[in-house]
């Protein structure tokens, strides 16, 4: 049965971390959300207590999975107002560039960049054809879209590339009411960033603990971007732990 609502979202990487926080923020404020990721049990945890959530297991690096995801969301909800392109992986941490295996590089590129493109392309097609036309895509960049951490060449390269994807989609979406923006996040408190508080490598070679921020603050920022009228767009937003070593990093 199709649900006709004005606020329908797809969130990738919705099983944990930022994806889970954003999904639950949207679900708690009147959105219907298709939750996707590679671990069905984690997606079910995100969806718990929210009958308006749709769980679709998918690997965003696989074109057939992406096609099935968007078909399932369309069958359930009938339209799409928001894609939060969040799925990503850091890859093997602490590996010098000269030792990075090509398969590891390819996995990060396939997930972070190719996956984001495939989902954005599918969203773009649907938003262009639906009535009323248009919608919004928000790409999860990173502070690494601006400045790298040591030994993070694959992750950093893909996050820089996401900025180009965001700009191109934003330009090409103008005639169809498709607004595209990017949120660059620094040190949100999730399982992936737990190590920050224990100490992570700095540009000078030392280890240092870094402050983190509540991931709920990221979720509220994404919702603010998502709920603007399509005539307005946050092209780039940076939300980070106030005292983290980003400005002046290195």
Catalytic site positions: 155
25: closest CA among 226, 211, 213?
A: 226
Phi, psi of 155 (to 5 degrees): -60, -45
118: closest CA among 77, 181, 173, 59?
A: 59
Taking the C-alpha atoms of residue 15 and residue 21, their distance in angstroms, rounded to an integer, is 9
Geometric angle at alpha carbon 200, from 198 and 203, rounded to 5°: 150
Taking the C-alpha atoms of residue 143 and residue 241, their distance in angstroms, rounded to an integer, is 11
Using H for helix, E for strand and C for coil, what is the string for 66-113? HHHHHHHHHHHHCCCCEEEECCCCCCCCCCCHHHCCHHHHHHHHHHHH
Sign, CA dihedral 208-209-211-215, equals positive
Q: Which helix (H) or strand (E) holds 135?
A: strand 135-140
């Amino acid at each position: 049965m199709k649900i006709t609502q004005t606020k329908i979202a797809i969130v990738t990487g919705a099983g944990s971390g930022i994806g889970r926080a954003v999904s639950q923020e949207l679900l708690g404020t009147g959105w219907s959300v298709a939750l996707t990721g590679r671990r069905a049990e984690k997606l079910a945890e995100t969806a718990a207590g929210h009958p308006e959530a749709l769980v679709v297991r998918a690997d965003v690096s696989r074109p057939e999975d992406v096609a099935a995801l968007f078909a399932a969301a369309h069958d359930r909800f009938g339209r799409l107002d928001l894609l939060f392109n969040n799925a990503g992986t850091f890859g093997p941490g602490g590996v010098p560039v000269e030792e990075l295996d090509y398969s590891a590089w390819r996995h990060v590129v396939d997930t972070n960049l190719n996956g984001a493109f495939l989902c954005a392309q599918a969203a773009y097609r649907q938003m262009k054809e639906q009535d009323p036309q248009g919608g919004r895509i928000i790409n999860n960049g990173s502070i690494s879209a601006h400045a790298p951490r040591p030994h993070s060449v694959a992750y950093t390269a893909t996050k820089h590339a996401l900025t180009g994807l965001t700009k191109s989609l934003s330009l090409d979406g103008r005639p169809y009411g498709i607004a595209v923006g990017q949120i660059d996040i620094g040190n949100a408190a999730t399982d992936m960033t737990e190590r920050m508080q224990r100490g992570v490598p700095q540009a000078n070679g030392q280890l240092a603990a870094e402050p983190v921020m509540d991931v709920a603050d990221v979720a509220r920022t994404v919702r603010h971007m998502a709920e603007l009228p399509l005539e307005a767009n946050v092209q780039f937003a940076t939300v980070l732990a106030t005292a983290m070593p980003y400005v002046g990093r290195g």
